[in-house]
Amino acid sequence: MEKMIITVAPTGAQTTRQHTPHVPLSPKEIADSIYKSWQAGAAIGHVHVRDRDGNNSLDLDIYKEVIDRVKSKCDIILNLTTAGGLKMSDEDRLRVCELNPEMATFDAGTMNFGKDVFYNTPNFLEKLAAEMQSRHIKPEIEIFDVGMIHNTLRIAKKELIHEPYHFQFVLGVPGGMPATPKNLMYLTESIPAGSTWSAIGASKDQLTINTMSILLGGHVRVGMEDSVYFKKGELAESNAQFVERIVDLSNTLNREIATPDEARAMLKIPRNSNMGVK
Ligand code: ZN
């Protein structure tokens, strides 16, 4: 099996200090958490940012502070969210591309998300795909339900997304596919040959989906965006703690961990020297 890429998602859009006192929220806290996760073995850091009050934000200056802080310390790949939450405007979401990240998220369809709706209209997705393609940003295609794979392939037919595709299967979100082995298998069998994939299990399903991904040859995402609990009833103290556990588990199961440069080669990400430049 090829080496395994670990993504850390330290903050997300839903996790608050009410859920855990350990979630990083300020640019410095987020950057430090990504750096410590890189030391533990993460190759990709998935970045959400917050304003001073802890609210979701797509402010480019806040992103830039995180990017600069991380890039001054390590070579981890940064994958910026283009969602930022469920209520952001299409214009603000598209503007994230101006930071020229190596990767950014591409949420491949509209869905119910808990009590809200996560809008990703066909028109918006085509604009986002075109913007990412023109800037050579690698899309992390987030798949919450199988129809979203086909949304992506329809956009690919218009030559707005090109192979090799990298999918992130997000299982266990209320409104998306439940986190079951059968669903994960179905998704892995539904993507074009030559694609790479990673998977997320939300909340209590994080570790089980992570373990299946290790065994099936996929890649893994962990972090407080997906779950704040290290074990039932026990909060994780840091994001690096989740990464360390995956590295231990992968060693036990004979799966080697990819460095950021190995991950760039595997995902065919060109090194983006304009990163963070507006
Ligand atoms: Zn995210």
Q: Is residue 278 pLDDT above 80, yes or no?
A: no
Q: Which CATH class is domain 6-267?
A: alpha beta
> Ligand 1 centre and the CA of 46: distance in Å?
7
Q: Where are the domains of the chain?
A: 6-267
Report angle CA 53, 55, 56 to the nearest 5 degrees.
145
> Ligand 1 centre and the CA of 142: distance in Å?
9
CA–CA dist 40, 243 (Å, integer)? 6
> Ligand 1 centre and the CA of 47: distance in Å?
7
Q: Quick one: pLDDT at residue 73?
A: 97
Q: What is the mean pLDDT of residues 185-195?
A: 98
* Residues bordering ligand 1, an ion, CB closer than 5 Å: 81
Predicted TM-score of the model (pTM): 0.97
pLDDT tens for 5-41 read 999 999 999 999 999 999 999 999 999 999 999 999 9
Q: What is the mean pLDDT of residues 119-127?
A: 97
> Ligand 1 centre and the CA of 211: distance in Å?
20
Q: Is residue 276 pLDDT above 90, yes or no?
A: no
Report residue 10 CA to chain centroid gap. Answer: 10
> Ligand 1 centre and the CA of 80: distance in Å?
8
> Ligand 1 centre and the CA of 143: distance in Å?
12
Q: What is the mean pLDDT of residues 42-69?
A: 98
Q: Is residue 230 pLDDT above 80, yes or no?
A: yes
Q: Quick one: pLDDT at residue 274?
A: 60
> Ligand 1 centre and the CA of 84: distance in Å?
7
Count of other CB atoms within 10 angstroms of residue 218: 23
SS3 199: strand
In the chain, % of residues over pLDDT 90: 96
Count of H helices and E strands in the chain? 9, 14
> Ligand 1 centre and the CA of 66: distance in Å?
15
Query: In the structure, what pLDDT confidence band is assigned to residue 270 with cuts at 50, 70 and 90?
Result: confident
Q: Quick one: pLDDT at residue 54?
A: 96
Give the CA dihedral 103, 76, 41, 209, nearest 10 degrees: -10
Q: Quick one: pLDDT at residue 211?
A: 97
Q: Tell me the Ramachandran region of residue 12: left when phi exceeds 0, alpha when psi lies from -120 to 50, beta otherwise.
A: left
- The whole-chain average pLDDT of the chain stands at 96
> Ligand 1 centre and the CA of 196: distance in Å?
18
In the chain, % of residues over pLDDT 70: 97
All residues at 6 or more sequence positions from 191 whose CB lies less than 8 Å from its CB, including other chains: 149, 165, 167, 197
> Ligand 1 centre and the CA of 206: distance in Å?
14
- Continuous segment of H or E residues that includes residue 189: helix 181-189
> Ligand 1 centre and the CA of 85: distance in Å?
8
65 neighbors 93 (Cβ within 8 angstroms) = no
Q: What is the mean pLDDT of residues 197-224?
A: 97
Count of other CB atoms within 10 angstroms of residue 145: 19
> Ligand 1 centre and the CA of 194: distance in Å?
24
Q: Quick one: pLDDT at residue 1?
A: 87
> Ligand 1 centre and the CA of 172: distance in Å?
14
Q: What is the mean pLDDT of residues 166-195?
A: 97
Q: Quick one: pLDDT at residue 277?
A: 53
> Ligand 1 centre and the CA of 269: distance in Å?
19
> Ligand 1 centre and the CA of 274: distance in Å?
22
> Ligand 1 centre and the CA of 240: distance in Å?
17
Nearest one of 70, 71, 83 to 109, comparing CA atoms: 83
Q: Is residue 272 pLDDT above 90, yes or no?
A: no
Q: Quick one: pLDDT at residue 72?
A: 97
